[in-house]
Structure 1
């Protein structure tokens, strides 16, 4: 994994000094080697984290053998040896000078042009500059594991792995304005969905998209579309499905272990990380390294389960006990790590476990993706319930009734309060109950900051009719996964120069899951049914007879205790007035309900306000 950046600037608004600046800002992503290419028309900069072929032959920017193309890329293409075999069939004279995937990927582009990307299996953000035509090509992987940001202004185009590389550039910064729509989306979802960023002028290249900058135009197109991979027929046979699942997962994990540096796995003791760890250990000759976090608050402490799984698999297990103070120390850094408002509090333990892992290894495997592909969230059950015709009739009176209940019932009442059946059918139920509805945003935000936005997903032109649960899972795959979970993992791990691979997001597994009978995902109230069946082939079922906690922290209780003064400062009347985004009375009412009326579920909404104010404060300096 690495940090990439660059520009096309024929009028020399951007130059060598800017390439150095890009690299400096992203140096944490690739601490092993730094270099750039510049020809007075375009520039490419690269920070390298050495994983495959540690020699200088694999350094980037890399020139093609014909010397026409220059490439930089972030990520890994796991099937590069298979691609080399295909290359040799068409170009028998091609002899790589390195053993890296970079050289193979570049020559694949030379041979097959833009269509080469369909051959790649991995996580990647690729930039290729054609010195002859003066065109720049960008490619992002199917699921959005690796990030790409871009901006076009005047006669210039620039891109980078992280938003800060662009936003801190003095030439670019003077053109940036805050995106009010993005603030609304963040408060509604907890993250800012692609292609938007917190700035109007900077965009995210969407997952499965590519783009070409030529003659001062940047034209994007979708080269992989999850909806197009949904087929009319589904896999219903459990034995057949389990065999196929086993084949793909074992292949994916094995491919993800290709490395010339020490590696390990993140092990929470949950279903997904345990499955990845079990297979990684199965195909490894020696005990692999595993890493987990232990929380002082026992409710959030899954470390004992991780230790139990690690002991059964005989891994070399490393456990890091996190105190509240150690976690809290990272809160002021969140804005500089994530660059834009980001509300996922599990970013804190992810940062801490990444720091621990980096002290032992350079590459890790994560279990991300299992919940979205195999219906691991309780929200999928709610999605089905809320789409029931009787529920639609009863939702308004039921909402009023539940509002007088405990925190959990109040969250559910929030779901029932949604104004539109269109939203109820297709919206992200898992977030709606925690964050702000559209109706609430009109009350929360100063009218100068309120903005209409579209985050619903349409499900037309799909080969078969999707159930409500399937719609919800697809929404999460298209938005929540790339714009929240994968952002969290990328920024947290790359903060410490740690590569994190996600074998459960192999595109073969994604396409398989999209066409798997939902009853093999959520069966008799058992979530991730088929994935669990596979796991129990490696680890005893009794290890997992417990409620799902997720990788979270007791943020709500911290905000009433250790973080009380911190939260109070960022939610103060003075701070609300200073930035002018939120209505003072509405914020005061939320604080009163949370702190004095014990409506504990509101902590997420107050945290969002804190995050926005923290970001605005940093931005104003």
Structure 2
């Protein structure tokens, strides 16, 4: 559903936003003359609305953040006319001389000081609330798929599906990577079958043909927003193995911030040291990407995982680029007395969890007509877990997160999360890019947004350095994702750059 507000018709200020879970995020379109505003919980419903004037205008700010930080901080987007409100984001809307003015502010809903000391976790109640959330969100007559890893989030959802009596219409899915240490599919299959679920292994193509290229072009033409998460390429490939259209697709993302987002030990140490070098940031931005100064001179907000191309490199092929570090430094200042656990939970969920982790799935479901179900995105569930005594949900000393889920899985399924360890999603992006390197190069060099001679020179350097350096690999992926989006997006079609 899309709602409309007309500037001439409002007398008092209107406040929108304040989402506590990802099912309540908002997307806003402000008309170029600022005389009317549209908003919706659905990005696709909003952007496809007949009163959204197309082509939309690319935002230099959004492009600058996407390539330099790997996220576009809310409320900004890749479009000048479109804003989004993530977890804890609000907008004050008022009319002045018949035109809208917007003022944005932010309040993290689940800081640690709001937890109730001594409040114990009821594992059965958590499972009950998860079941309730699933029933509220699924289309009960449609097939159910669950992206299952060996992690705590998806396997707790699997438990909830079993409790809900949905085994017969549910299939668990796991990416199979034969011969790789990151292959979770065998263990995930054992867990699923132990509970009586069907399990299917998802395989990536052994080579890229016109079929894969066609589905990627369809994907980039349809998605509402670009995404910087390299794992996004896996999802269109899954559609070639299973037709998800019309089904329910469950994903375990979207709960770290109310459980307490526990950083890696090395990250926690670095965030105490690196920001002392912030005064060197202008120098770091004037040097080639990946330089040591640029890595060191980051804000605490950026330490949660935001880094990318330096400004001097970006200006070589995109002269409209803006520096992004002043924004992150100002966000640091707002949180200068915050505990890092709270800071990471807030900054990560608002920008990266929303703009990358969940968007890589929602872009897929939006493109192929799938009902995306995020069982953890439930306000009743979030309010309950967010109120528990901190000692019930995380262990600061040993950097362990989601203690209730660890206990639940150990008791019900004999899954010892400590023994399994932390798996990251194992999509082999570098080998995938290698199979389609000519197409990647074509998309980037043919993108009309980039200054042609500048991007050709930069690409020669990028191709070599991306073979070994992780930051350059991020830049490589982001340039392709953004270029392919700009080249094919139906929301930008006929736009002259």
Length-normalised TM-score, structure 1: 0.63
| Structure 1 contact 6–159 (Cα < 8 Å) conserved | yes
Residues 359 and 492 (structure 1 numbering): CA distance in 2 closer, same or farther, change over 3 Å? closer
Residues 246 and 431 (structure 1 numbering): CA distance in 2 closer, same or farther, change over 3 Å? farther
State how far apart, in whole Å, the 1-side matches of 2:471 and 2:178 are: 18
The answer to whether residue 336 in structure 2 is matched with residue 448 in structure 1 is no
| Structure 2 contact 60–321 (Cα < 8 Å) conserved | yes
| Structure 2 contact 462–472 (Cα < 8 Å) conserved | yes
Could you tell me which residue of structure 2 aligns to residue 157 of structure 1?
37
Structure 1 residues 115-194: aligned runs within 5 Å = 141-145=19-23, 146-154=25-33, 155-159=35-39, 161-162=42-43, 166=47, 172-173=53-54, 176-194=56-74
State the SS of the aligned residue for 2:199: strand
State the SS of the aligned residue for 1:536: helix
State how far apart, in whole Å, the 1-side matches of 2:74 and 2:63 are: 13
Residues 415 and 545 (structure 1 numbering): CA distance in 2 closer, same or farther, change over 3 Å? farther
Could you tell me which residue of structure 2 aligns to residue 381 of structure 1?
265
State how far apart, in whole Å, the 1-side matches of 2:274 and 2:348 are: 26
| Structure 2 contact 130–157 (Cα < 8 Å) conserved | no
How far 1:284 sits from its partner (Å)?
A: 1.9
State how far apart, in whole Å, the 2-side matches of 1:277 and 1:221 are: 41
Q: Deviations over 1:523-572 (max 9, x none)?
A: 52444444322322222125873343333421112223x11222333455
| Structure 1 contact 320–356 (Cα < 8 Å) conserved | yes
Could you tell me which residue of structure 2 aligns to residue 481 of structure 1?
353
Q: Deviations over 1:175-203 (max 9, x none)?
A: x4321111111013323232112222222
Could you tell me which residue of structure 2 aligns to residue 309 of structure 1?
191
| Structure 2 contact 301–328 (Cα < 8 Å) conserved | no
| Structure 1 contact 368–502 (Cα < 8 Å) conserved | yes
The answer to whether residue 297 in structure 2 is matched with residue 419 in structure 1 is yes
Candidates 137, 142, 147, aligned match of 1:266: 147
How far 1:292 sits from its partner (Å)?
A: 0.8
Any stretches of 5+ residues in structure 1 without a counterpart? Answer: 12-40, 42-129, 401-409
State how far apart, in whole Å, the 2-side matches of 1:187 and 1:306 are: 35
State how far apart, in whole Å, the 1-side matches of 2:43 and 2:449 are: 31
State how far apart, in whole Å, the 1-side matches of 2:430 and 2:448 are: 21
Candidates 340, 343, 347, aligned match of 2:228: 343
The answer to whether residue 439 in structure 2 is matched with residue 566 in structure 1 is yes
Could you tell me which residue of structure 1 aligns to residue 463 of structure 2?
591
Could you tell me which residue of structure 2 aligns to residue 280 of structure 1?
161
Could you tell me which residue of structure 2 aligns to residue 503 of structure 1?
375
Moved more, 523-532 or 340-349: 523-532
State the SS of the aligned residue for 2:296: coil
Larger radius of gyration: 1
| Structure 1 contact 139–211 (Cα < 8 Å) conserved | no
| Structure 1 contact 293–349 (Cα < 8 Å) conserved | no
| Structure 1 contact 143–482 (Cα < 8 Å) conserved | no
State how far apart, in whole Å, the 1-side matches of 2:441 and 2:112 are: 52
| Structure 1 contact 137–212 (Cα < 8 Å) conserved | yes
Structure 1 residues 358-373: aligned runs within 5 Å = 359=244, 362-373=247-258
Structure 1 residues 162-241: aligned runs within 5 Å = 162=43, 166=47, 172-173=53-54, 176-208=56-88, 209=90, 216-218=98-100, 226-227=107-108, 229-230=110-111, 232=113, 234=115, 240-241=119-120
How many residues were matched structurally? Answer: 467
1 or 2 for the larger relative contact order (CA 8 Å, sep ≥6)?
A: 2
Could you tell me which residue of structure 2 aligns to residue 524 of structure 1?
398
How far 1:295 sits from its partner (Å)?
A: 3.4
Could you tell me which residue of structure 1 aligns to residue 203 of structure 2?
321
Residues 267 and 456 (structure 1 numbering): CA distance in 2 closer, same or farther, change over 3 Å? farther
Residues 474 and 260 (structure 1 numbering): CA distance in 2 closer, same or farther, change over 3 Å? same
State how far apart, in whole Å, the 2-side matches of 1:285 and 1:577 are: 48
State the SS of the aligned residue for 2:29: strand
Residues 459 and 503 (structure 1 numbering): CA distance in 2 closer, same or farther, change over 3 Å? farther
How far 1:601 sits from its partner (Å)?
A: 5.4
How far 1:271 sits from its partner (Å)?
A: 1.6
Residues 445 and 599 (structure 1 numbering): CA distance in 2 closer, same or farther, change over 3 Å? same
| Structure 1 contact 231–515 (Cα < 8 Å) conserved | no
How far 1:285 sits from its partner (Å)?
A: 6.7
| Structure 2 contact 29–82 (Cα < 8 Å) conserved | yes
State how far apart, in whole Å, the 1-side matches of 2:386 and 2:437 are: 43
Residues 204 and 337 (structure 1 numbering): CA distance in 2 closer, same or farther, change over 3 Å? same
Length-normalised TM-score, structure 2: 0.76
Could you tell me which residue of structure 1 aligns to residue 408 of structure 2?
534
What is the root-mean-square deviation in Å for CA atoms of aligned residues? 4.4
State how far apart, in whole Å, the 2-side matches of 1:599 and 1:570 are: 22
State how far apart, in whole Å, the 1-side matches of 2:370 and 2:68 are: 31
Could you tell me which residue of structure 2 aligns to residue 78 of structure 1?
none
How far 1:451 sits from its partner (Å)?
A: 0.7
The answer to whether residue 133 in structure 2 is matched with residue 251 in structure 1 is no
State how far apart, in whole Å, the 1-side matches of 2:184 and 2:322 are: 40
Residues 227 and 206 (structure 1 numbering): CA distance in 2 closer, same or farther, change over 3 Å? closer
